Structure 1
Amino acid sequence: MESLSIVLEYDLNDIDMKVNSFEELVIWQKAIEIGVEIYNISDQSPLKNDYKSRDQLIGSAVSISNNIAEGFEYNNSVQFVKFLGYAKGSAGELRSQLALLVKVNRVSEEKYLILKEELIGLSRQIKALVTYLKTKKIK
């Protein structure tokens, strides 16, 4: 597992002084990258005409970055941990949706495997941050 310092690219002892906005968080940046890729996939055939699946897929992807941002903005580690849990859950939901869409030929196996690995990595990074926040009890 990656060390948490790699995940955040900061000295975690100074996280409260160094991280001034959620946009600085590597996990938020990665969630945005995944969201962009999901939008790109959603614009391609045959998924672009499957409106319900497309909306669910985009909703799950957007939820990851939004929950990271919302939790961070509370300026409270308890709330941040709670919303990081929601973000991690949305990453799992997105992986599940992609797995199904591969089976029904809406998403290519190649795209699925790439996104699956990215989402698993992101989930691990979120979990590492949650563990750190619970240990350090940052307010």
Structure 2
Amino acid sequence: MAGIERFEDLIAWQKSREMAAAIYKITGEGNFSKDFALRDQIRRAAVSVMSNIAEGFERKGSKEFHQFLVIAKASCAEVRSQLYVALDVGYINNSMFERLYDISVEVSKITSGLRTSVAKQCE
């Protein structure tokens, strides 16, 4: 990416870091913290977003970066899907669901925009 030297400078990575931290905080509380399967799965999905953005960037190739951004965006969808489970079983309330859902949508949109930009470099 022209002008960006570190993955930490990517807004997509910065926002995904915020999302991962929020997921870790909420999954460390109450009954959510005791549901090891769901807790660990949603944490892995959230961390996957920021990790794939970072790894793809460091590959230094547009085609590979694009592929990793596709995976990162899919992991955002996984987070949202698991948030529904957490809401449905009462681990989070509607307000917390909406806040985390909105963050994951924002990360997904930013990642999608970055993916589109990178795809143009592949052409």
- Establish whether TM, by shorter chain, passes 0.5: yes
| Residue identity (%) | 33
What residue identity is the alignment partner of 1:50?
D
Partner of 2:91, secondary structure, is coil
Report whether the alignment pairs 1:110 with 2:107: no
Q: Offset of 1:92 from its aligned partner?
A: 0.3
1:97 has 2:85 as partner: no
Is structure 2 residue 26 aligned with structure 1 residue 25?
Answer: no
Aligned match for 1:75, one of 49, 52, 60: 60
Amino acid in structure 1 at the alignment position of 2:98: L
Distance across 1 between alignment mates of 2:116 and 2:33: 38
- Take 2:119 and 2:35, find their aligned partners in 1: how far apart are those partners? 41
| Residue deviations 1:100-121 (CA, integer Å, cap 9, x gap) | 1101101221111011111111
TM-score w.r.t. length of structure 2: 0.95
The equivalent of 1:123 in structure 2 is 108
Contact 2:23 2:46 in 1 (8 A): yes
RMSD of the TM alignment (CA)? Answer: 1.2
Supply the AA of the counterpart residue of 2:119: K
- Higher RCO (C-alpha 8 Å, min separation 6): 2
Instruction: Give, as a single letter, the amino acid of the residue that structure 2 aligns with 1:25.
Output: L
- Pairs aligned (count): 123
Q: Deviations for 1:71-101, whole angstroms, at most 9, x for unmatched residues?
A: 0010000000000000000000000000111
| 1:38 paired to 2:33 | no
TM-score by length of structure 1 reads 0.85
Could you say what secondary structure the match of 1:46 adopts? Answer: helix
Moved segments of 4+, more than 6 Å: none
Letter in 2 for 1:85: V
Contact 2:62 2:121 in 1 (8 A): no
- Please tell me whether Structure 1 or Structure 2 has the larger radius of gyration of its CA atoms: 1
* Structure 1 residues without counterparts, runs of 5 or longer: 1-14
